[in-house]
Structure formats: structure tokens, C-alpha cells
């Protein structure tokens, strides 16, 4: 009887373990990629502010790039209200128009927003305090660049090419590219790039900006009339040969006479 009881308990445990494992698998979401796992990070937190809809023009940042098109960035004031407000303020002051992407690392990110173009500049406004949040550094994420001081963000930002989760909660992510990422991918690489790509114009969509207009090619420089430099070889002179006179007719030969 004891043997039969032991066998019954073993069979019950074997049946219970798969059931328990199935319940655990149903409770835990299955992620197809690390990016998707990071996007639902802390999804069970209550009281989190609701993000604005992606159709809210007041929170759509438009960057017309010299790489050929317009980039649309969904701003997230629900997680970074101070940085989003800074971006809007500077954009409406046309601060970003003409600025370059001065530090662009392939497979990592493109950094811009510096009026000095070397990573040391910013606006005349005070620095923005850190607003580290749950948004991950996935492809297309837009975050505030800063110095060693966590509270030193100002005007500079970067757009992520490929996921870099080691930066999560160390930099303020305040937006995400939702259209035009192909134009971000075309940004010239380098630290600094030899021929840096530029922000032609930046807009807030609510301000009814004009449609994107491709940059016109730079006109050719007017160098004026040709100049002969000292010591330059003189222009060769073409000499037309004189016409030779027609040959004179030879005198008619005398008829041979017989010798007497």
C-alpha cells in the first residue's frame, strides 16, 4: 500500500509541474527582441502620465535634413516635460536651423544641436535637469546629450541608429522618430564628419510649417574674366603659309636641226 501511495504522489507531482510552468509562461510576456522587452519595461507601474497621441501636432518635432527629407519625431512630455519644452522653445526661436551633426558614430548615434559644432556649445538658456525615465535606447530614440554632470543637458541631442540599452536611465530620452528614419541613416559619419549633414529647418508641427523643400545646389562662383598669369606660356600664334607663285611655263625647245 505504501508503494502504491508513493507512486500516486509521484504521478501527481509530474502532472502539477507542467501546469505550474504553463501558468508562469502565461503570466510572463514572451519577447521577440530585446527592444520589445525594453519597451514594456515597468509596464505595471500605476499612476504613470499618459503619453500624447502620435497625431498631436504640438508634440511632433519636424527636422528637415540636408540628407534629402523630413524627419518626424514624437515628443514625450509625459516622461521629459522640461526637455520637451526646451526643444520647442529653441525650435520656435529657429535655434536649430543650419546646425550640423558634429558627432556621428556608425551603428550608434548622430549627435547635433551645438551652435559651436564641436560638442561644447549650447543655448543661452539654463541647463535642463535630468529626467531619466523608462524609455529605452532603441532605434530612432531621441535623447538629450550632456556632459558628465547629469543635470547639464541644454540644446544638444542625439538620435540612436541601433539599440544601446547600457545608456537607459543615464540619459534623458524625450522622443522617438516615427517617420523619415531613412534620412537619419544618411547622415554623414565622422567625429567630426568631413562634410557634415545639417538641419536645414526645424519646426513644431502645430506651427503649420511649409512642406519640405530640397536644398538647392550651391551656385557656381563668378570668377570674372579670364586672367593671364605672369610667366604663363603665351598663346601660340598660327601662321598661315604664303601661297607659292605658280611656276612659269618653260620656253619651247628649238627643233633639232641636222648637221650639215
Nearest by Cα to 178 from 70, 102, 85, 77: 70
Domains of the chain: 58-207 (2.40.100.10)
Helix, strand or coil, per DSSP, at residue 4: helix
CB 112 within 8 Å of CB 99: yes
8 A C-beta contact, residue 83 and residue 73: no
- Give residue-wise pLDDT tens across range 113-143: 999 999 999 999 999 999 999 999 999 999 9
Taking Cα atoms as reference points, which of 197, 234, 233, 183 lies closest to residue 72? 183
**Given this model, what pLDDT does residue 20 score?**
38
Backbone φ and ψ for 103, nearest 5 degrees, come out as -140, 110
Question: Is the alpha carbon torsion for 44, 16, 31, 54 positive or negative?
Answer: negative
Give Cα 252 to chain centroid, integer Å.
Answer: 97
From 120-134, 196-210, 211-225, 238-252, the region with the lowest mean pLDDT: 238-252
- Secondary structure (3-state) at 112: strand
The pLDDT of residue 226 is above 70:
no
DSSP SS3 for 255 = coil
> Who contacts 170 (Cβ-Cβ below 8 Å, separation ≥6)?
132, 150
Element (H, E) at 14: helix 2-27
How many whole angstroms separate alpha carbon 45 and alpha carbon 47? 7
| pLDDT of 18 above 90 | no
Average pLDDT over residues 33-46: 49
Amino acid at each position: 500500500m505504501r508503494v502504491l501511495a508513493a507512486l500516486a504522489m509521484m504521478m501527481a507531482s509530474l502532472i502539477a509541474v507542467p501546469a505550474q510552468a504553463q501558468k508562469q509562461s502565461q503570466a510572463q510576456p514572451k519577447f521577440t527582441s530585446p527592444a520589445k522587452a525594453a519597451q514594456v519595461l515597468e509596464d505595471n507601474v500605476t499612476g504613470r502620465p499618459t503619453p500624447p497621441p502620435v497625431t498631436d501636432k504640438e508634440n511632433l518635432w519636424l527636422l528637415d535634413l540636408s540628407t534629402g527629407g523630413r524627419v518626424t519625431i514624437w515628443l514625450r512630455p509625459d516622461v521629459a516635460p522640461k526637455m520637451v519644452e526646451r526643444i520647442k522653445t529653441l525650435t520656435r526661436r529657429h535655434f536649430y536651423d543650419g546646425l550640423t551633426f558634429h558627432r556621428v558614430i556608425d551603428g550608434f548615434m548622430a549627435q547635433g544641436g551645438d551652435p559651436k559644432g564641436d560638442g561644447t556649445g549650447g543655448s543661452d538658456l539654463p541647463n535642463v535637469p535630468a529626467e531619466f525615465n523608462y524609455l529605452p535606447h532603441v532605434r530612432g530614440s531621441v535623447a538629450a546629450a550632456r556632459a558628465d554632470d547629469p543635470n547639464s543637458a541644454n540644446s544638444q541631442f542625439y538620435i540612436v541608429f541601433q539599440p544601446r540599452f547600457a545608456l537607459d536611465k543615464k540619459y534623458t530620452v524625450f522622443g522617438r522618430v516615427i517617420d523619415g528614419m531613412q534620412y537619419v541613416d544618411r547622415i554623414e559619419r565622422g567625429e567630426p564628419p568631413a562634410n557634415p549633414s545639417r538641419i536645414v529647418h526645424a519646426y513644431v508641427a502645430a506651427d503649420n510649417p511649409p512642406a519640405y523643400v530640397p536644398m538647392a545646389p550651391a551656385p557656381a562662383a563668378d570668377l570674372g574674366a579670364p586672367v593671364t598669369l605672369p610667366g604663363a606660356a603665351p598663346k601660340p600664334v598660327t601662321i598661315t603659309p604664303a601661297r607659292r607663285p605658280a611656276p612659269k611655263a618653260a620656253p619651247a625647245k628649238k627643233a633639232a636641226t641636222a648637221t650639215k
